[in-house]
Amino acid sequence: MIKTISKLTQLDANQKNKSSLRFNGSLPINITVLKSLGLDRYKLLLGTKDFTTKSQRKLENGAKYWGSFGEGKNGIITISNLVKKPSFLQKDEGFLDIECTQFLNQIMQVDSPISTFKEWILENLEKDETKKETFNIFAQMLLALKEQIIHLPLKHKNQINILQIKASNNTIEFYCAFENLGPMRGLLSDGVLNLEVLFSKTQYFLKKQMKKSDIVSNISINKQIEPFYSFDKLILDLKG
């Protein structure tokens, strides 16, 4: 089952080297709100370019969003379906420099992934050379593990993503968020992947990719996809 998730992360990794996909509207895009200009006008950052546009929906200064990108015949840029990214993805800090697929492949090899994962976290927390920021990352991962959630905030080759896994005897539930695919939630049971995605463009892309793989899947749209565990909840747990 972990192998299936690993293949899914590779699909996204394959797209990161195709910069043209970021701006041709074939996949979700990443947007940062640089400044509110008043009268429903905003200065946004798309990739390395900034521009001004209108939004009837109120946007938060400095916040990061996923969205759909289009360009009309007259070169008019349209951005729709803006969805604010979860708290873990609002900053570039708080991620471990680990390649997701490689990490999952290593986890596959052990008899007790959760126990091994916990030992790995504790070993890193006990190291004297662990920096404060890295210590906080592992502490958050340990708090999530108390809820039986494997929480992986990973950054590799300047790409950040979140993967969260909940496992039982016969099924695996997971949440993942990639820059070029947006958020997804999946259930692996009896060799079948039931996957929910936020964007129709992601659904279309993944359906094409799944036909090329040996993954049996059902892919549907869900407009309410949230992480199993969020930074906000971690703060509440600490205060409690």
Q: What is the pLDDT, as a whole number, of residue 152?
A: 93
Q: What is the pLDDT, as a whole number, of residue 17?
A: 46
Digitized pLDDT (tens) for each residue of the chain, 240 residues in all: 667 777 777 776 555 544 433 444 678 888 999 999 988 889 999 878 888 888 878 899 999 999 887 766 666 667 788 899 998 899 888 899 888 888 888 877 888 888 889 999 999 999 988 888 899 999 999 999 988 899 999 887 778 889 999 877 788 899 999 888 899 999 998 888 999 999 998 999 899 888 888 788 899 999 999 999 886 554 444 444
Q: What is the pLDDT, as a whole number, of residue 54?
A: 81
pTM, full prediction: 0.84
CB 164 within 8 A of CB 152: yes
Domains of the chain: 2-17+89-239 (no CATH), 20-86 (2.40.50)
pLDDT over 90, % of the chain: 35
197's CB contacts (< 8 A; 6+ apart) are: 181, 182, 183, 184, 203, 206, 219, 220, 221, 222, 225
CB 108 within 8 A of CB 199: no
Q: What is the pLDDT, as a whole number, of residue 65?
A: 94
Q: What is the pLDDT, as a whole number, of residue 23?
A: 47
Give the mean pLDDT of the chain.
83
Summarised one tens digit per residue, pLDDT across range 28-59 is: 888 999 999 988 889 999 878 888 888 878 89
3-state secondary structure of 225: coil
| 148: region left, alpha or beta (phi > 0 left; psi from -120 to 50 alpha) | left
Give the chain's radius of gyration (CA, Å): 19
Residue 180: C-alpha distances to residues 23, 25, 53, 68, 171 (Å): 11, 11, 22, 11, 27
CB 217 within 8 A of CB 194: yes
Q: What is the pLDDT, as a whole number, of residue 76?
A: 65
Q: What is the pLDDT, as a whole number, of residue 234?
A: 47
Q: What is the pLDDT, as a whole number, of residue 238?
A: 43
Question: Encoding tokens for residue 234?
Answer: 């971690």
